[in-house]
Structure 1
């Protein structure tokens, strides 16, 4: 048991160091730019779409919850609300995936569609997206095809695009207008997702502060 405790402590120390390093190396200028982008989208009544896969899917849902509900200030009159969408409707998502690739390959869509899953975010977003909206894709690798397709689609619709990514940024970092990167060794998904949640709360807490000060 002592050996297990020693190994757990050793692992914890290394994990703590990796996380501290990743947070210390974040580009706060870019994060600040994204914070202002989200606020300005809210002020002009634009939509904001959050989307991701797996753990990033949960982070996207968390973003939509916090910005949609958590930024409302009790008693504040005439407050403008964040028009946020977490592209996480289970029925819509699975129906979109089940349709296969034909709706996209036979239509005028950018990107690569090998199967229906590649269009799950485009299929949900296209019903609402307008010029000036914000498409916020979350992906540790930055290479998920459905994320890339959604960012490409948003760009042709003249929406602002944000990629919150990890490792080396992947292909998403080359597409998005704004890139929040957690730079680290490839395969460290837990590290990236954990720091992505830190960034999420930084953006959210700043949004609350802005609401209280305007």
Structure 2
């Protein structure tokens, strides 16, 4: 088989799987999260987005879009989204370098094998308040630092959202709201692509709410 034909076959299959995954999304769960984010903004609550790797990029993108992109020119007294992308590189590496002891010796829920397991908890705890939202992103749903972040937020009386793939993992069982792209394990490209579709759906609806409220 020529490479061009192989690429065409692969591309067609990938697009078919992506479309199928989008069609299977639970619209009701997306709507609930959209409303949850808007109400948090209206009530002056913080929203924390976090994840690893590609999910880390999505978390930063979400924080950018909700923090800056929802501002409407000329809208007086608009309330802004108080968003945090837990992506400060100096803080992340310092927290990871400190090791697990700050978490294993304190009153922190979850499992800590090394410092990296607490990089999101360590950032959130400086700002977190009851009623805030912790929005964890993980294709597997099993990333320890994401799971620990969700558990910590629940302990603090916050709402939790998990955007996951594969079989949902531990995050699916923990979070109050779940945005679930069910796939075979290891389909990172498929999951992250559909996660970006959900991201932009949430963001575009947030803009619509700002324009009509």
Q: TM-score range by the shorter chain?
A: over 0.9
The 3-state SS of whatever aligns with 1:179 is strand
Measure how far apart 1:173 and its partner are: 0.3
1:60-71 pair list within 5 angstroms: 60-71=59-70
Quote the RMSD (CA, aligned, Å). Answer: 0.6
Residue matched to 1:175:
174
Deviation by residue 1:131-190 (Cα, 9 ceiling, x = unmatched): 000000000000000001000000010000000000110000000000110011111000
Paired residue for 2:210?
211
Residue 162 of structure 2 is matched in structure 1 by 163
| Superposed structure 1 runs of 4+ greater than 6 Å apart | none
- Secondary structure in structure 2 of the residue aligned to 1:171: helix
Aligned length: 213
Gapped regions of structure 1 (runs ≥ 5): none
Distance 2:11 2:40 in 1: 40
Residue deviations 1:8-37, cap 9 Å, x none? 100010001000000000000000000000
Structure 1 residue 53: Cα displacement:
0.2
Q: Displacement of 1:115 after TM fit?
A: 0.1
Distance 2:159 2:17 in 1: 31
Q: Structure 2: any 5+ residue segments left out of the alignment?
A: none
